[in-house]
Chain A
Amino acid sequence: MPTPSAQLDQGIISSNGGTSGVSASSTRFRHRKISVKQKLRVYKASDLKDLDQDELQQRELQEIETGVEKNEEREVHLHKILQKNQLQLQDLYIPTPDASRVWKEFDEMYQGRFTTPASYIQFSVQLEDCCGPAYNMDERDEAYLAELNGGESEALTEDEFELLMTNFESAIRERQPFLAMDPESLLMYEDLKPTMLKNDIGDAGLKTELAAELQLGDQPFVTKFDSPATLRTRNMVELIEKYGAEVYEYWKKRKVEVAGGSIIPSLKAERSTDKDDNDPYFCFRRREVRQTRKTRRVDTQNSQKLRLLYQQLQYTKELALLVAKREKMSMDMLLRDREIFQLRCDIKTVKRGLGIKGEDELLISQKRRKLVSNVITNKKYVSTQADAAALRRLRVAKVKDKKLLSKQLSSTDLKRQQSQLQKLDQQQRQQQQQQQPQINGAQCQQDGSGVSHVYVKLPTSKIPDIVLEDVDKVLSMKERNTKRFVEEKMKKRREEDGDIFFNLTDDPYNPVFEITIPQNISPTNAPFSSIVSSNFEISRSYYTPNLQNCITGNTNSVLAYNKEGEIVESQKYKKIEFYSPFEEKNDSHTREIPVRFRRRLGRYGVEYIDRKDVSRNPSDLLGEFMDFSLIAEQEQSSDAVNVYDSQLDELFRLHDKWKYDSDHNAYGIKFSDEPSRLNQISNETQVIRFGTMLGTKSYEQLREATLKYRQNVMAQRKKLVNAQRQQQQQQQEQQEQEHQQA
């Protein structure tokens, strides 16, 4: 037994002195630190026997750790046990429900087939569960319904019955919410009927409202949440008129049975007032949670949240309604399409019968105008698009590279002059630089596809600042990438082809054409520097199995096969043909798309290289522009003609012009017309940037000018002031001098 004097202070003792053990809260024992400020009662050994036995026991008892929650210590049986002395323990126990009875249907209900899934079992009430009538039939209803439908031809279906019952329930809930207080006062059918007619069970009212909003008219329609059963149910008004009175009696019977409560079975839940801990059938007991402090701020916050949620739902509703409208319109359009199709069919037969020709414009559908709203619908789709575009561009680049490489290769093979090689190198570099913007563009598109919202409207504030990269760096990187790509592709192709195929198509990886430069033309001013001179036409081509050996100089014999696989026995094909654009050989089978070049010197030594289609014969056209008789007349007359008036000279000039000038640029738009695309910034953006730059610059200039002007003014004013001061000083001095003189 512990010494009570050390544990208890006077406060506890006095409180325990009164009604000990009656109220649990008052018996709660509090440990307190012994403090010098507090008086402690000291019990002597002689006092102990005077102490109330119960009191001591109680104190001791509170010391025992029961292991259950504090408020559960108060449970009647446990409390009793705790209060009693340990000696009497065998008499007391906590009663448990009788578990000896056997439930016969157990095996039926619990068959043990359930296997625990890997994930948690989740459950929530689906939207579909909330649709339709709330009442669900039971066995008794089934019996009743069978009886009701006994002889009738047009039976009340189960769905309709449920609908009616639900309506009864909701009507009575509306009219007599406190029926449970006085079940006798249940309303008569006639009183209940108007409420029932007004009620909207089965979302009929909602639907009519929606139909009105969509201007659907009386067209019946189904929503996704309608179960097929609801489609067959009859109108509520009809049901009430026909079965209302009968079903009312049945419903009333059931209602009285449950003493005015709901006949829809529901889980037993705690009401706010009655709280019965002893009833084990309560579902969801309320937890006693400490209420959070309510402040005005929290209140407004919460109401604001609810308002926002409501707004969200409004928005959604609006959008959904628009979508519904759009779909309705789509349907109308389809119907119209069908009508048009039908009409066209009819017209066609009539027209054929009449033998009318033409007038077809009505019969052909115009292409639908594309809606330009800037969305990418499908990210994947777009990326493939961009990829395709990029690929296409790369392919172009590849082709060019191959041509160049082919030249390069063959030139090395044939041991051309070194200078020519350099020339080609240069050329390659040039062309690759020309390719750069294209490839950049392709890359850009590829990048863009990763960021999905390239074409989405963005508020101006959200347009990201483009980090300007070093041009040289970007260019070199692109060049490297392209080179690698082409090299890899070529290698792969060669591996695939092996020794079996030799490619003679327009896009070969192997060189078959060779441009030879005539002896008297030096490669430094050979005219192909800036003109693509590799548009070849092959009039005939044959398969030659060992062409490569021939090119490399290992063999001189060439076998040519035609497309039937027969060996072509012709002396012409016994050697490789190298095409030279400067030699007009008649037996050549490889020829350039016929063009002619001319190098001419303009003023100040400007060099031009003119290119001309041979196929065009200008002299036929000249007649339209020149009067030949006038020329002849002028030439025949012996008078000297002014240079500017000479018709013959004019003819020469025109002829020359036509011979070599081209009206259009064969390779893309003119360089000068091409919008500059620096750093992939569109022209518009550049304009804006340039504009702002100009603006800031002019502002700075203005500011500078103003500052200068101000400084000037200040300086002038200073000067003026100084001058005035000097004048004053002078005057003073003069005055002083005058004084002194005086």
Chain B
Amino acid sequence: MEKQRKEYEELKQKLKQALHEKKVQEQEWDQIQQEIFDKETEYLSGNASSKYGTIVKGFDGFGKHASQDSHHFQDQDRIFSLSSALFVKQQEGVQDEE
């Protein structure tokens, strides 16, 4: 009985630790996703280097002329963020709440 009790406490400690670590991981994940999202936004909304095209839109006409509407992008273009099923799920959750 005493041994069992001890084992129980031990397991509980382990679980606590695991849960804590998971929480940290989740936070890190959120952070990295946010980073991806921000970088992606920056990338897609166009900086100096996207004058001739981006990896999403392609480089058609590279070197011919600078495209004018490079600053418009849609949510579907967010291939990096959307490549995560978890992220998509989260977004849907947000939608649901609204």
User: Residues of A with Cβ closer than 8 Å to B?
Assistant: 302, 305, 308-309, 311-313, 315-316, 318-320, 322-323, 325-327, 329-330, 332-333, 336-337, 339-340, 343-344, 346-347, 350-351, 353-354, 356, 359, 362, 368-373, 375-379, 381-382, 385, 452-453, 456-457, 459
Interchain residue pairs with CB less than 8 A apart (16): A302-B63, A312-B55, A312-B59, A319-B43, A325-B32, A326-B29, A326-B84, A340-B19, A347-B11, A351-B8, A362-B16, A371-B91, A375-B37, A375-B75, A378-B92, A453-B74
- Residues of chain B lying within 8 A (CB to CB) of residue A325: 32
Contact of A323 among B29, B55, B83, B88 (CB under 8 A): B83
Report yes or no: B52 in contact with A309, Cβ–Cβ below 8 A. Answer: yes
B60 at the interface (CB under 8 A from A): no
Contact of A373 among B19, B29, B37 (CB under 8 A): B37
Contact flags B10-29 to A (C-beta < 8 A → 1, else 0): 01101110110110011011
Report yes or no: B81 in contact with A375, Cβ–Cβ below 8 A. Answer: yes
What's the Cα separation between A330 and B26 when bound, in Å?
Answer: 9
- Residues of chain A lying within 8 A (CB to CB) of residue B43: 315-316, 319
What's the Cα separation between A325 and B36 when bound, in Å?
Answer: 10
Question: Min CB distance, A284 to chain B, in Å?
Answer: 22
- Residues of chain B lying within 8 A (CB to CB) of residue A346: 11
Report yes or no: B95 in contact with A382, Cβ–Cβ below 8 A. Answer: yes
Q: What are the 8 closest A-B residue pairs judged by CB atoms, nearest first?
A: A311-B49, A377-B91, A343-B15, A316-B55, A308-B49, A350-B8, A336-B22, A347-B11
User: Which B residues from 41 to 89 make CB contacts under 8 A with A?
Assistant: 41, 43, 45, 48-55, 59, 62-63, 74-76, 78, 80-84, 86-88
What's the Cα separation between A353 and B16 when bound, in Å?
Answer: 20
What's the Cα separation between A325 and B81 when bound, in Å?
Answer: 12
Report yes or no: B78 in contact with A375, Cβ–Cβ below 8 A. Answer: yes
- Residues of chain B lying within 8 A (CB to CB) of residue A457: 41
* Interface residues on chain B, number (Cβ under 8 Å): 61
Report yes or no: A362 in contact with B49, Cβ–Cβ below 8 A. Answer: no
Given A309-B52, A385-B95, A453-B74, check contact A319 B12 (CB 8 Å). no
What's the Cα separation between A675 and B15 when bound, in Å?
Answer: 47
Contact of A371 among B22, B25, B33 (CB under 8 A): B33
Report yes or no: B25 in contact with A329, Cβ–Cβ below 8 A. Answer: yes
Report yes or no: A371 in contact with B30, Cβ–Cβ below 8 A. Answer: yes
Report yes or no: B26 in contact with A368, Cβ–Cβ below 8 A. Answer: yes
Report yes or no: B75 in contact with A456, Cβ–Cβ below 8 A. Answer: yes
- Residues of chain A lying within 8 A (CB to CB) of residue B87: 371, 377
- Residues of chain A lying within 8 A (CB to CB) of residue B21: 336
- Residues of chain B lying within 8 A (CB to CB) of residue A339: 18
Report yes or no: B75 in contact with A379, Cβ–Cβ below 8 A. Answer: yes
> 11 additional contacts, CB 8 Å, given A330-B29, A336-B18?
A311-B48, A318-B39, A326-B32, A326-B33, A326-B36, A329-B28, A354-B5, A368-B26, A371-B33, A375-B37, A452-B74
Report yes or no: A330 in contact with B86, Cβ–Cβ below 8 A. Answer: yes
Closest B residue, CB atoms, query A343 = B15
Given A323-B36, A323-B80, A375-B81, check contact A369 B26 (CB 8 Å). yes
